[in-house]
Structure 1
Amino acid sequence: MPARPVHGETTREVRDALAEAFSVSVAGELAAVTELLEHQLQATEDRDKWRPLRQAIDAVRDLGHTLRGRLDAHVRERIDAKLTPGKDAFSQTARFSLESLTLVSEDEVQEEIAIGNAARRLREATTDAFFTLNARLAAAVGVERFPEDKSPVHPRVFARAMLDAIGEATEDRAVRLAAFAAFDPAMLHALPKAFKAGNELLVHRGVLPELRRSYGAPQQVPGA
């Protein structure tokens, strides 16, 4: 049976703690992200990659000191959409069927693949922390559990928010994907910090303080 729900303010505090910790950590890696893109540009012999890499460097530099605020806002927006399904298009699971694949561009398919791959790496890096945070947030909201594809704190939510923030600097999908790939190490460093902040806040509020570890194998999640 879930713990007594502590809706409202606590849920907003958790959302804000996650968004702040994730965005602060990622924004702190901007120099490393730019350096990685510059190294990729120097190392590649594929001329087709030169333009997106050069423009990705420009996009990351353009984001600059605004990245933290933009990413923070997008994480909050994505979490809110998951907490209130049906209220916003962001809450819908991005599941591609064979029929729907014919209706989207190859670039869009590549974007979904990139998000899925990043989310899988983030999920593998945060197995126990995700399990405890997901369970505690469900208890705080007053539901038995959040299935992974409905979880407001699934790593895919954060990966999508990252791509949203990058999208404010460039509309070119190839450039967005090049920049997004360069942020992968930063996200892998940031998400454990964010989950730690969320778990600590909920424990402080008395939500499942004895919960420790996950069980079972991680499930594949089709979208967020």
Structure 2
Amino acid sequence: MDEVEVVVAHSERATLRVGDMFLKVDADQARIDAEVAAMALAPVPTPEVLWRKPHVLAMAALPGTTVGRLGGPSTGSPGAWAAAGAAIRKLHDAPLPPWPGPGRRPDELRRELDEECEALVTNGVLPADLVTRNRQVAEAALRPWTPAFTHGDLQIAHVFVEDDEVTGIIDWSEAGRGDALYDLATFTLGHEEHLDDVIAGYGTDVDLAVIQAWWALRSLLVVRWLIEHGFDPFTAGCEVDVLRSRM
């Protein structure tokens, strides 16, 4: 081992790769405990837990690579994207976990979204017409849904594949009962061109308007948070580009 790779890091938690291990450091021990419980129940490949101490979780590194990254090109084949879709469907078809998860009800999300949209415009972060249009698109996600076992933060960097097979999914701290289409939208955020491949692997029709709504909603909610935590949502292919694509 000659370097430490930062997989993701911000003020709440960080995931590092050190040689043949992932190290998850979380300020909230309850999130680590929830992550271990979710991986034990999930019917998809997950990293082997090596050890757990207060605020640190060590897991075996996964073979393969991610199919791409937000703001970068896709490195995975259509078969790799489809394999990810099949794994996501397997998760969503599994029995519900015994805890509710961190997801919010549609009425709570609507209030939060309206407040965030007002802040984006008032503080001059984004143009009013861009926010207004995406707020309209996002409304389709704010409907009742049948709860599924969801990952809750299924970013493209959290799914590893090799030879068009999923070798593991990491970062389960947001797992619980949620909207299945939110997982699909999170995974394809910024890579709309591969949505058809993912749906082909998922194996059932999905409401594309709701997927697009979650793209808009997620992006609107995280722009200011990303800026405040040292990330750049204005990078090509990232959240602001996702919002512009809905215009």
Which of the pair is proportionally richer in helix? 1
User: By the TM > 0.5 criterion, same fold?
Assistant: no
* TM-score, normalised via structure 2 length: 0.28
Greater relative contact order structure (CA < 8 Å, 6+ sep): 1
* TM-score, normalised via structure 1 length: 0.31
